[in-house]
């Protein structure tokens, strides 16, 4: 299992990381080449958040149901393709309806939500709306390709979409001087072209008539999934909205840059989650004793990689001056130690929720998410009042710790799996090292680059120690094959 798990993790991590990685590479381009101001960068970040909201509400998350119901309808090739066609058809119709509504009410909605007059629906919101609607066509087909192991077409679509988006943005920003509109328009063009391609590939299965046989159960499932997705989206919106509302749109730009850097941890644990899900769900079906052993091993693997992702992001931000030269954007170094830890606890919470996805209990996830968003709103509001941006960073960490403690205290299976010597040792030492490193760097006792390397090296050694069994059985033999001994 360990060898398959590592191979699966590598494949899915590379494929899932490619689009966000290319998006990440574009960030210094926006700051250094396109020369976006703090405020312009904040607007761009907010439009990305808005596009995510459009993706949730415009098609009621029907595309995400493919993840759960793929195996339900995968009895014959005709049934599974018809199911995908029905989901795509539903996404197209609902997306067009949503677009019409936003064309009428978009400007009013933006004036009600945002404090700054610079954040407008035309053209920024409209371009982001196209992106969000197109993603609802992209998501179900991508899940279909992954579950059916059609990796070749999956890779072609992912790579083509990323390349097209980058080229379009560079042409529109540097060539035509469109600024933020060019960035949003380039992103929209990349995903709209891919969505159109997907519709062409599935034209035989698209239908003007929706069939209840294929949509009844998925629509029942999303009754709680939509609120859950909205609550999950709120985790990325509430803090930014408070910064824009109570501080300034310029500070929002700096906070957006911090969030983008730290969110690489979130991308990492989502990739790790995708890799372990097949193994985890297989383990859930085992006898109790064997199940406990296999699940704990998967937990240890996931948590170890997430800790390394947190440490790696801290290391990268400690060298952020190699990516950008503007002092305001370099200044996120002081916050990254605390902010990255909030993603560690978020990753732990996501791990606990997988049990509820397995039994299709989206209502339980919604209850935990409600508690989480209340914690974020309260902690961030108090923090921003007393400490401004530092208060937002600390408040977000405290809110996610509260959510973790709630899950740990009320869900016994999660608690038993976490209560493992190697897991607790890794978490406690890693958190202590990162917090201590932040204190040393912010007190100017050592430089940020040096502190970054020290914490990364020490956490790597702890990771090897707490996962020495996997290291000896899987990684070490692979390393040894790189330097085979010569026969005597």
Please give the structure tokens belonging to residue 31: 């700051």
Residue 482: band (very low, low, confident or very high) from pLDDT cuts 50, 70, 90: very low
Domain spans, the chain: 1-12+241-477, 34-210
Q: What is the mean pLDDT of residues 322-337?
A: 95
Residue 155: the pLDDT is: 81
Query: Within its chain, how far is the Cα of 164 from the centroid?
Result: 21
Cα four-point dihedral sign 334, 248, 125, 221: positive
Q: Identify whether the C-beta of residue 403 lies closer than 8 Å to the C-beta of residue 349.
A: yes
Cα four-point dihedral sign 63, 65, 376, 351: negative
Residue 393: the pLDDT is: 96
Question: Is residue 154 pLDDT above 80, yes or no?
Answer: yes
The count of other CB atoms within 10 Å of the CB of residue 327 is 8
Closest CA to 420 of 278, 295, 306: 295
Give residues with Cβ within 8 angstroms of 279, minimum separation 6.
1, 4, 5, 8, 294, 298
Question: Is residue 276 pLDDT above 90, yes or no?
Answer: no
pLDDT digits over 331-346, tens only?
999 999 999 999 999 9
Q: Which of 347-356, 432-441, 473-482 has the highest mean pLDDT?
A: 432-441
- Of 140-144, 226-230, 399-403, the poorest mean pLDDT is in 226-230
Q: What is the mean pLDDT of residues 30-54?
A: 94
Give residues with Cβ within 8 angstroms of 436, minimum separation 6.
none
Question: Is residue 380 pLDDT above 90, yes or no?
Answer: yes
Residue 448: the pLDDT is: 97
Q: What is the mean pLDDT of residues 431-454?
A: 96
Residue 478: the pLDDT is: 44
Give the Cα separation of 106 and 99 in Å (integer): 9
Residue 250: band (very low, low, confident or very high) from pLDDT cuts 50, 70, 90: very high
- Of 59-73, 357-371, 446-460, the poorest mean pLDDT is in 357-371
Is the overall model pTM greater than 0.95, yes or no?
A: no
Question: Is residue 28 pLDDT above 70, yes or no?
Answer: yes
Give the Cα separation of 78 and 238 in Å (integer): 43
**Mean of pLDDT over the chain:** 88
Cα four-point dihedral sign 181, 186, 190, 196: positive
Question: What separation in angstroms does the CA of 280 have from each of 294, 354, 366?
Answer: 8, 9, 22
Residue 17: the pLDDT is: 66
Q: What is the mean pLDDT of residues 429-441?
A: 96
**Proportion of the chain above pLDDT 90, given as a percent:** 60
Integer distance in angstroms from the first to the last C-alpha of the chain? 34
Residue 244: the pLDDT is: 93
Residue 475: band (very low, low, confident or very high) from pLDDT cuts 50, 70, 90: very low
Question: Is residue 372 pLDDT above 80, yes or no?
Answer: yes
pLDDT digits over 278-311, tens only?
788 888 888 888 888 888 888 888 898 899 999 9
pLDDT digits over 98-153, tens only?
999 999 999 999 999 999 999 999 999 999 999 999 999 999 998 898 778 787 88
């Amino acid at each position: 299992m360990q060898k398959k798990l590592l191979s699966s993790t590598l494949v899915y991590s590379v494929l899932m990381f490619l689009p966000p990685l290319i998006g990440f590479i574009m960030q210094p381009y926006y700051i250094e080449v396109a020369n976006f101001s703090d405020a312009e960068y904040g607007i761009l970040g907010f439009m990305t958040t808005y596009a995510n909201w459009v993706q949730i509400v415009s098609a009621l998350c029907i595309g995400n149901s493919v993840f759960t119901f793929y195996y339900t309808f995968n009895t014959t090739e005709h049934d599974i393709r018809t199911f995908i066609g029905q989901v795509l058809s539903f996404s197209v119709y609902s997306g067009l309806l949503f677009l019409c509504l936003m064309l009428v009410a978009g400007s009013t909605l933006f004036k009600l939500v945002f404090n700054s007059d610079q954040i407008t629906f035309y053209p920024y919101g409209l371009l982001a709306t196209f992106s969000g609607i197109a993603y609802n066509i992209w998501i179900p087909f991508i899940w279909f390709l992954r579950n059916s192991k059609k990796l070749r077409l999956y890779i072609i679509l992912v790579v083509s979409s990323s390349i097209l988006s980058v080229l379009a943005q560079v042409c529109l920003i540097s060539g035509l001087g469109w600024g933020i509109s060019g960035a949003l328009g380039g992103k929209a063009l990349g995903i709209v072209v891919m969505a159109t391609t997907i519709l062409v590939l599935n034209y035989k299965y698209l239908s003007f008539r929706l069939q209840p046989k294929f949509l009844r159960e998925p629509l029942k499932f999303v009754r709680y999934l939509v609120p859950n997705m909205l609550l999950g989206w709120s985790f990325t919106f509430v803090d930014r909205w408070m910064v824009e509302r109570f501080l300034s749109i310029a500070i929002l730009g700096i906070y957006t840059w911090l969030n983008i850097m730290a969110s690489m941890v979130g991308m990492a644990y989502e990739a790790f989650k995708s890799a372990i899900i097949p193994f985890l769900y297989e383990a859930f079906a085992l006898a109790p004793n064997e199940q406990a052993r296999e699940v704990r091993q998967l937990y240890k693997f996931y948590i170890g990689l997430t800790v390394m992702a947190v440490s790696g992001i801290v290391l990268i931000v400690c060298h952020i001056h190699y990516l950008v030269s503007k002092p305001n954007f370099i200044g996120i170094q002081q916050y990254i130690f605390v902010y990255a830890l909030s993603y560690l606890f978020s990753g732990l919470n996501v791990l606990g929720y997988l049990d509820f996805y397995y039994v299709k209990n989206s209502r339980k996830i919604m209850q935990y998410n409600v508690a989480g968003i209340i914690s974020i709103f309260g902690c961030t509001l108090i923090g921003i009042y007393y400490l401004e941006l530092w208060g937002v960073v600390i408040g977000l960490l405290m809110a996610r710790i509260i959510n973790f403690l709630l899950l740990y205290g009320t869900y016994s299976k999660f608690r038993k799996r976490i209560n493992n010597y190697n897991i607790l040792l890794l978490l406690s030492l890693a958190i202590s090292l990162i917090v201590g490193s932040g204190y040393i760097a912010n007190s100017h006792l050592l430089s940020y680059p040096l502190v970054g390397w020290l914490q990364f090296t020490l956490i790597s050694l702890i990771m090897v120690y707490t996962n020495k069994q996997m290291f000896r059985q899987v990684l070490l033999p692979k390393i040894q094959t790189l330097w085979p001994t010569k026969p005597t």
